Amino acid sequence: AFAPRVFSGIQPSGGLTLGNYLGAMKRFVDMQEDGGYQTIYCMVDLHAITVWQDPAKLTRATRELCAGFIAAGIDPEKSILFNQSQVPEHTQLGWIFNCVARMGWMKRMTQFKDKAGKNAENASLGLFGYPALMAADILAYHATHVPVGEDQKQHLELTRDIAAKFNHDYSVDFFPLTEPVIEGAATRVMSLRDGSRKMSKSDPSDMSRINMTDDADAIASKIRKARTDPEPLPGDAKGLEGRAEARNLVNIYAALSDQSVDQVMAEFGGQPFSVFKPRLADLAVDKLSPISAEMARLMEDPAQIDAILHRGSERAREIAAPVLKRTYEIVGM
């Protein structure tokens, strides 16, 4: 009954990593090009401020993220590309969902525990509640599919729980049970320094990640120095089990080259890292340099970026406003 519609977002919290690109952006482009969905992509600035953001940097990071989307292949005509804070329906629906979600559900969110760390009492209320706002981001568009990395799986389950409880409590079939789309070789890109942690823009070590804006030398040197074990690559994909760092590099190669892990292993199985790493570095530079060059070009005209985001927010509101209006009616307001 619900038209196929994709929603996803990325926080403008400064810097984009290869993890964001392979786990999210590149797949957003695939779903845009698929043709079977309406695609809606958002810079989620209201999520970014759940932890302190310098105001001038937030403004810049939002524009840079928008430039990143476009440089990676999001077409603001084909997709709706906008900034969360410009569409007030997100926070309005978010409040309704604050009243649907249960404290016990929120307390189980592992990302809150990770991000709040040991001093959870001092975390913002927004950081604790953000998965309910995320549910509103998605459900304000009746989105049926959300492409994300594996780290967002639990939040997507919460979105479904909120939709189901709302539908049940008000005896309606109004919100869809949105499907997470967690697919491909790079649903969880790991740190280049530690195969047990995800690659993240908040990791203190810059050597742990490839940034979308890294130049060719930086990319090559980070891959050359990436931690690996001393053995050559195994003969096949099965042999990557228990070798997190090796598997991560193979996954990255597969995702960047649009191949399966088996195809990559058919080419590189048995090869030493001294052969594989330079090939991976060349591939990464090949794929990322045009994107970062285009980002830099787009950033020269911030007014143009702002105009794109403004137009996107108008198109987003055309969908979200009637959904909010109907939600209020269902609730009795």
One-letter amino acid at 274 equals: S
Helices first, then strands: H and E counts in the chain: 14, 5
Shortest distance in whole angstroms from residue 13 CB to ligand ADP? 6
Q: How many amino acids of this chain bind ligand ADP (CB under 6 A)?
A: 20
User: Contacting ligand ADP (CB under 6 A), which of 60, 165, 201, 243?
Assistant: 201
Contact stretch for ligand ADP (CB under 6 A) within 116-124, 173-181, 198-206, 214-222: 198-206
User: Contacting ligand ADP (CB under 6 A), which of 151, 179, 203, 282?
Assistant: 151
Contact stretch for ligand ADP (CB under 6 A) within 30-38, 66-74, 195-203, 226-234: 195-203
User: Contacting ligand ADP (CB under 6 A), which of 29, 58, 136, 199?
Assistant: 199
User: Taking Cα atoms as reference points, which of 110, 121, 167, 162 lies closest to residue 138?
Assistant: 162
Tokens encoding 143:
């989105």
C-alpha to C-alpha distance for 232 and 22, rounded to whole angstroms: 25
CB of 11 or CB of 39, closer to ligand ADP: 11
Q: Which helix (H) or strand (E) holds 8?
A: strand 5-10
Q: Is 238 noted as a catalytic residue in this protein?
A: no
Residue 19 binding ligand ADP, by CB under 6 A: yes
Contact stretch for ligand ADP (CB under 6 A) within 9-17, 79-87, 124-132, 284-292: 9-17
- Going by the annotation, the residues of the binding site for L-tryptophan are 137
Shortest distance in whole angstroms from residue 235 CB to ligand ADP? 27
Cβ burial of 4 (10 Å; 0-12, 13-18, 19+) is middle
Residue 159 binding ligand ADP, by CB under 6 A: no
Binding mask 208-247 for ligand ADP (x = CB under 6 A): ----------------------------------------
Q: Which helix (H) or strand (E) holds 39?
A: strand 38-43
- Asked if residues 91 and 319 have their Cβ atoms less than 8 Å apart, the reply is no
Shortest distance in whole angstroms from residue 194 CB to ligand ADP? 12
R_g of the chain computed on alpha carbons: 20
Residue 198 binding ligand ADP, by CB under 6 A: yes
User: Contacting ligand ADP (CB under 6 A), which of 5, 6, 7, 11?
Assistant: 11
| Residue 73 backbone zone (phi > 0: left; psi -120 to 50: alpha; other: beta) | left
C-alpha to C-alpha distance for 227 and 208, rounded to whole angstroms: 9
Residue 188 binding ligand ADP, by CB under 6 A: yes
Shortest distance in whole angstroms from residue 21 CB to ligand ADP? 8
Binding mask 21-40 for ligand ADP (x = CB under 6 A): --xx----------------
C-alpha to C-alpha distance for 313 and 319, rounded to whole angstroms: 10
Query: What is the rounded (10 degree) CA torsion for 24, 30, 34, 36?
Result: 10
Point out the catalytic residue in the list 198, 222, 277, 287.
198
One-letter amino acid at 15 equals: G
With vertex at residue 30, the alpha carbon angle to CA 268 and CA 16, rounded to the nearest 5 degrees, is: 75
User: Taking Cα atoms as reference points, which of 190, 189, 165 lies closest to residue 175?
Assistant: 165
Q: What is the torsional sign of CA 319, 323, 324, 329?
A: positive
- Going by the annotation, the residues of the binding site for ATP are 11-13, 19-20, 149-151, 189, 198-202
Point out the catalytic residue in the list 78, 115, 153, 165.
115
Q: Is 115 noted as a catalytic residue in this protein?
A: yes
Q: Which residues are catalytic?
A: 115, 198, 201
Residues of the shown chain interacting with ligand ADP in the complex, contacts defined by CB under 6 A: 10-11, 13, 17, 19-20, 23-24, 148-149, 151-152, 186-189, 198-201
